[in-house]
Amino acid sequence: DVKVTQSSRYLVKRTGEKVFLECVQDMDHENMFWYRQDPGLGLRLIYFSYDVKMKEKGDIPEGYSVSREKKERFSLILESASTNQTSMYLCASSLSWTAYEQYFGPGTRLTVT
């Protein structure tokens, strides 16, 4: 059973703070993804990674960066949090580039005040 875990379910940060969101998967998946989920906007891809130390920008990378030092862990970093980054953040992983199913974590609801 694939398990994708995220470090926090709820997080409250102040404007300008540096924020780290952590994601860990336990199934040796190659690909990992970060999305934000907003009502009426659906899921939007922020960044993804297909290998350790490799990353690709998604559709909305501005204001975010990522880190993948180990295969099982993918971190999303908000260098200077802003109120428009208040959102639900979802992490996902998939086995390989030909395995389309993505497995999602429970999400982190981030509020920036």
Partner 1 sequence: AQRVTQPEKLLSVFKGAPVELKCNYSYSGSPELFWYVQYSRQRLQLLLRHISRESIKGFTADLNKGETSFHLKKPFAQEEDSAMYYCALSPQGGSEKLVFGKGTKLTVNP
Q: Which of residues 81-100 bind partner 1 (CB under 8 A)?
A: 90, 92, 94, 97-98, 100
CA distance 41 to 5: 24
Among the residue ranges 11-19, 61-69, 70-78, 101-109, the one whose residues contact partner 1 (CB under 8 A): 101-109
Q: Which of residues 17-46 bind partner 1 (CB under 8 A)?
A: 31, 33, 35, 40-45
Measured from the Cβ of residue 45, the count of other Cβ atoms closer than 10 Å reads 16
CA distance 111 to 113: 6
CA distance 87 to 37: 7
8 near partner 1, judged by CB under 8 A = no
Task: Calculate the CA dihedral of residues 102, 52, 108, 77 and round it to 10 degrees.
Answer: -140
Beta bridge partners of 34: 47, 91
* 47 vs 81, beta carbon nearer partner 1: 47
* 13 vs 44, beta carbon nearer partner 1: 44
Per CB under 8 A, the list member of 8, 11, 58, 61 interacting with partner 1 is 58
CA distance 10 to 86: 11
Rule CB under 8 A: which residues touch partner 1? 4, 31, 33, 35, 40-45, 48, 50, 56, 58, 90, 92, 94, 97-98, 100-107
